[in-house]
Amino acid sequence: MVAPDGSPDGPDEVSVYDSVGGLPWFVALVDRFYDAVAIDPVLTPLYPQDLRESRRTTSLFLAQFWGGPPHYSKVRGHPRLRMRHFPFAIGLAERDAWLGHMLAAVRSSPVPLPSEVEALFVEYFERASSAMINQDR
């Protein structure tokens, strides 16, 4: 069984990280996502021109969050994601654009995801992206 919070509790549970095939799956997910971000007129003004570092930190963060090794924290420290997003004006339009690309990336996984794993990702990205809104417009 896949553990609902990403981390296995017992011998019969496997992390989401392991169930999708580990880091390469997250690297590919984040690549599909940033390929779309790179040409989105709502999002490009927020991001650096060179997205290599964004690809690296985001894939390490997500891999860690879903039960993989803590490589993100080794490089960047405590995630504090809401705080790290304060410098960027994120309203509904930015959240919707971001979430749309991430859900498209999840749904275009070359390895078909078990429906319960896909549902966990959808629920998580909806919640996390809404929590990042810091502009009332």
Closest CA to 44 of 32, 35, 56, 31: 35
CB of 10 to ligand HEM, least distance (A): 26
With respect to ligand HEM, which residue has the nearer C-beta, 71 or 85?
85
With respect to ligand HEM, which residue has the nearer C-beta, 74 or 84?
84
Residue with tokens 């809404």: 130
With respect to ligand HEM, which residue has the nearer C-beta, 7 or 54?
54
First-to-last alpha carbon distance for the chain, in angstroms, is 41
Selected range binding ligand HEM among 3-11, 12-20, 114-122, 124-132, rule: CB under 6 A: 124-132
Closest CA to 67 of 114, 9, 119, 16: 16
Whether 43 and 53 have beta carbons less than 8 Å apart is answered as: no
Residues 68-107 contacting ligand HEM, CB under 6 A: 76, 81, 84-85, 88, 90, 94-95, 98
Say how far apart CA 60 and CA 52 lie, in whole Å: 12
Residues in the chain, overall count = 137
Selected range binding ligand HEM among 1-9, 16-24, 42-50, 109-117, rule: CB under 6 A: 42-50
Say how far apart CA 41 and CA 5 lie, in whole Å: 34
- 128 counts as binding ligand HEM under rule CB under 6 A: yes
What is the contact surface with ligand HEM in residues (CB under 6 A)? 46-48, 54, 57-58, 61, 76, 81, 84-85, 88, 90, 94-95, 98, 128-129, 132
